[in-house]
Amino acid sequence: MSIAKPETVQQLYLDFDGFFASVEQQAKPRLRGKPVGVVPFDTTDFTSVIACSKEAKARGVKNVMPIREAKRLCHDLILVPQSPDLYRRAHLSLINEITSVIPIEAIKSIDELTCRLDQRDKRDPRALALKIQSTIRKNIGPHITCSIGIAANRLLAKIACKMDKPNGITIWHPDDMPAPLLPVPFDDIPGVGSRMRKRLYKAGIFTTEQLINADPKHMRLLWRNVTGERLWYALNGYEVKAEPSKRGMFGHSRVLPPESRSKPEAKACARLLLVKAARRMRREGYYATKLWLHFSLRLNPKLTVSYSGDLSFPAAQDDQACLRAFDRLWRETLLQIPRYGKIIRIGVSLYNLQQASGRQLDLFADDDDTRQKWESLNNAIDSLNEKYGKTIVSIGPWQPPAGGYAGGKIAYTRVPSAEDFW
């Protein structure tokens, strides 16, 4: 971890306002200026609004709010089924426009990114922010807006970005700090979750001012790792360069439509999600040695319980090996759960990853010629699907669930690729 304290602004953080709903409004004129809630599918009121427009937010609607509660607050709320591929294409178009103004240092999610300022931009950061907003307005449209924060480091720029939404610009110069930061509640500080708030309260730290005046080593103890110390330095205006993170897993999950909540249909969906995760894993050059299966089971209208199981298997990346492990894990996990109830959410993850370039064959772990032939077959299948831009060949049945977008749903923490929609 390297630490330096800049004397001027260094980072720009951009967050699109109500991204999914605003993309729907830009693409569909009938939605413009109206309260919009994006939902997983349009066949039930027993799910949540996963994103909402600024008009809906002004009426009290929030992201991840139950649909029935949202409708009580906003009777004329327009519910729109998610369009993940539309959001992916909008993201790519927006990235192209922003790149024409300033190079992007990192894409943090489908609706957030960060840029490093050059010497010219440091002299007039507001002009830079205004140019980005006007370029988007002119070349994409006026209904997709963004809020921008500019500060000495990425964390402070991210916090500043939330201060004047929507379509705002907030600049925190090092000479002005820490005054603008002091009123910020813990909820608005990335890295301070509900559990961490409890620890801070027990330590006698109740405000952001007390947090930034604490001892950095004390922060390390409270967080029980170096993250707390890094956070302290970032809040105090230092630019902290941590080691790059490593890929931990490949996974997908899915809320099942009401008509698809039986165990056979949940298994078919999980199987498809696993194949999509394995495809992503191969594209990025990894093998996995563990599989995790998790799901939520609704036993009655007021009781939902979670179940999960995992299974180790010899390092593999091909569909046949992953599906064989899945079949075994599914049988073992189902032994834990009641026979009645409906599976409302299902997810699978491949983890404990190894780089394909560093993998060595294991003569004693099912790593023989047969395994390598399955990998060659899978490479041929991937090539055919890539050539035609859709799933035309698969190992076993390919049964997308009702509602579509299995493996390509709304993505908060990553940007889906075109292959996720095959």
Specify the residue for token string 């010497």.
119
pLDDT tens-digit profile of 378-395?
Answer: 999 999 998 888 888 898
Give helix then strand counts, H and E, for the chain: 14, 16
Do residues 263 and 304 both lie within one domain? yes
* pLDDT-derived band at 334, boundaries 50, 70, 90: confident
Total domains present in the chain: 3
Tokens of 183: 């009123």
Domain that holds residue 40: 19-84
* 262 falls within a domain: yes
Q: First and final CA of the chain: distance in angstroms? A: 41
Do residues 274 and 387 both lie within one domain? yes
Cβ neighbours of 184 (radius 10 Å): 19
Q: Is 347 a residue whose pLDDT tops 60?
A: yes
Percent above pLDDT 90 for the chain? 70
CATH number at residue 58: 3.40.1170.60
Tokens of 392: 């035309």
From CA 35, how far away is CA 79, in angstroms rounded?
Answer: 9
pLDDT at 416: 76
Check if 69 is active-site: no
Do residues 177 and 208 both lie within one domain? yes
pLDDT at 19: 95
Q: Is 213 a residue whose pLDDT tops 80?
A: yes
Residue 217: C-alpha distances to residues 66, 230, 302 (Å)? 41, 10, 45
Do residues 6 and 49 both lie within one domain? no
* 418 falls within a domain: no
From CA 172, how far away is CA 233, in angstroms rounded?
Answer: 16
* pLDDT-derived band at 211, boundaries 50, 70, 90: very high
* 287 falls within a domain: yes
CATH number at residue 231: 3.30.70.270
Do residues 235 and 346 both lie within one domain? no
Do residues 154 and 10 both lie within one domain? yes
> How distant is the alpha carbon of residue 124 from its chain centre?
32
3 state SS of 302: coil
> How distant is the alpha carbon of residue 1 from its chain centre?
25
Cβ neighbours of 287 (radius 10 Å): 21
Q: Which of 24, 55, 105, 112 is catalytic?
A: 112
pLDDT at 199: 94
Q: Which amino acid is at 245?
A: S
Percent above pLDDT 70 for the chain? 93
Cβ neighbours of 265 (radius 10 Å): 18
